[in-house]
Structure 1
Amino acid sequence: MADEFEIDLDDLERRMKGALDALKQEFASLRTGRASATMVEPIQVDAYGAMTPINQVGTVNVPEPRMVTINVWDRSLVQKVEKAIMESGLGINPQTNGTIIMLPIPELNEERRRELTKVAAQYAESARVAVRNVRHHGMDALKKAKDGMSEDDQKFWHDEIQGLTDKHVGHIDRMLENKQEEIMQV
């Protein structure tokens, strides 16, 4: 029974790493005063009746250090893309020139930097919750497998799952600390 559970441990780690990967993407979307194409990646546009990533309705470019442009392929979607950007919480007002939407990246003031660190903390907490949910799933699987296991095996697997959880939560905490330092740099 323990050998079957070991396979589950690999699955739990893969899922916890998935939470870390999602956090990396969310952190990449937080602007730090420099233009980046990744900052618009999480934005979804209501296109053709479905929520679609912004990079699937237009070409995202960074022509200058403080400018992101989106060349929207379908003229009828330009207003929807603009609306999605304004509602995204990036704090950027898009400027439109035909099918090209320009996003000038302003300098971050102290207040906006503090707001962004709070947003980063919320992203990190969501990732921690995701890791804990995976841990909970693993513990449930352990409870179901208890019938054929000795107490030592149960303790071993419990400690393995908890160690995996602690490792990933620690990694999330370090990522948050680094992102907050990056945001607060002037």
Structure 2
Amino acid sequence: MGTRFLQRLVLPVFIKSLKSHPNLANTRERVLCVNNYIAVRNYAKGKDKGKDKKGKGGKVEINITQMSELVPVDKLKDRCQSAIEKMKEDFAKNLSLRSTTGSLDSLPVKHDGKDYELQELAQIVRKNPKTIVINFSSFPQAIPDVLKAIYNSGLNLNPQQDGTTLYVPVPKVTKEHREALAKNAKALYIKCRDAMKDVQNDFIKKTKKQTGVSEDTVFSVNKQIIAMCDEFQNQAKNIYETKHNELLNK
């Protein structure tokens, strides 16, 4: 029952009784004091509750020895680091401000239901600083799928077909080209981040399958797994932000 409701309900009764029982004034004062005490106490509880919530969010200390009892920590680190290295490799191959043969070599192409890299389907040569030549003389049936892959690559390329050969003009570094590359950088970063989330979930599942281990230990190790994966994700984010700023010339 609310404090204000009690005040409205109880106090008028005591006030009315004061006429015939003057010494109840002290009682009335006590009621007021009690009500004030309840209000202050409830307010203090609310403040303490807020403090408790804030206190739960501190930095998690990573204890490698404890973690190693439940999961192979080195494998966790290796998988996260591999995801970062893959992102960096993709950045180097696909996010050059000047389109190069290297950017096209590893361009993914879906042909006849299978995944290929462009270099597996054609011969790629840089004829001059302004033109890349892609020769499909031994695999001309792949040209439509390759054209589709190039148009959807975000590399801002506009190939011209002449028989079994594609001539690819190297575009100028425009604002639109920079923005397209920055968008691709974000997609590659998200792919890396999701890969590390999968690593985190895999290792948390491993801890839950352990037997003869206390719930507190499992809970503690899971928090440490999340903290360790967060560190790798922050590392990936920093690499992405540096690349993003470079592409946009910030």
- In the superposition, the TM-score normalised over structure 2's length comes to 0.61
Q: Which has the higher strand share?
A: 1
1:136 is matched with which residue?
A: 201
CA 140–13 in structure 1, closer or farther in 2 if over 3 Å, else same: same
Does residue 78 (structure 1) correspond to residue 133 (structure 2)? The answer is no
Question: What's the Cα RMSD here?
Answer: 3.0
- Identity, in percent, stands at 23
2:92 to 16, 22, 28: 28
Residue by residue, what CA displacement relative to the aligned partner does 1:37-77 show, whole Å, maximum 9, x if unpaired? 33221321415x52322111112333444433322232232
- Distance in 2 (CA, whole Å) between partners of 1:169 and 1:66 is 38
Which amino acid letter does the alignment assign opposite residue 171 of structure 1?
Q
1:67 to 117, 131, 137: 131
Which amino acid letter does the alignment assign opposite residue 122 of structure 2?
G
Q: Is the 8 A contact 1:44 1:52 kept in 2?
A: yes
Which amino acid letter does the alignment assign opposite residue 200 of structure 2?
R
Question: Match of 2:210, SS?
Answer: helix
- Distance in 2 (CA, whole Å) between partners of 1:82 and 1:162 is 42
2:121 is matched with which residue?
A: 57
Which amino acid letter does the alignment assign opposite residue 111 of structure 1?
E
- 1:114-153 alignment, distance < 5 Å: 114-145=179-210, 147-148=212-213, 151=216
2:152 is matched with which residue?
A: 87
Question: Match of 1:122, SS?
Answer: helix
CA 30–185 in structure 1, closer or farther in 2 if over 3 Å, else same: farther
CA 120–140 in structure 1, closer or farther in 2 if over 3 Å, else same: same
- Distance in 2 (CA, whole Å) between partners of 1:50 and 1:106 is 29
Give the number of equivalent residue pairs: 183
Question: Match of 2:158, SS?
Answer: coil
CA 149–42 in structure 1, closer or farther in 2 if over 3 Å, else same: farther
Q: Is the 8 A contact 1:35 1:67 kept in 2?
A: no
Q: Is the 8 A contact 1:35 1:62 kept in 2?
A: no
Which amino acid letter does the alignment assign opposite residue 78 of structure 2?
R
Flag the structure with larger Rg: 2
Does residue 183 (structure 1) correspond to residue 247 (structure 2)? The answer is yes
1:5 is matched with which residue?
A: 70
Deviation at 1:94, TM superposition (A): 0.8
Deviation at 1:3, TM superposition (A): 5.3
2:234 to 167, 170, 174: 170
- Distance in 2 (CA, whole Å) between partners of 1:68 and 1:175 is 30
- In the superposition, the TM-score normalised over structure 1's length comes to 0.78
Does residue 15 (structure 1) correspond to residue 53 (structure 2)? The answer is no
- Distance in 2 (CA, whole Å) between partners of 1:144 and 1:66 is 58
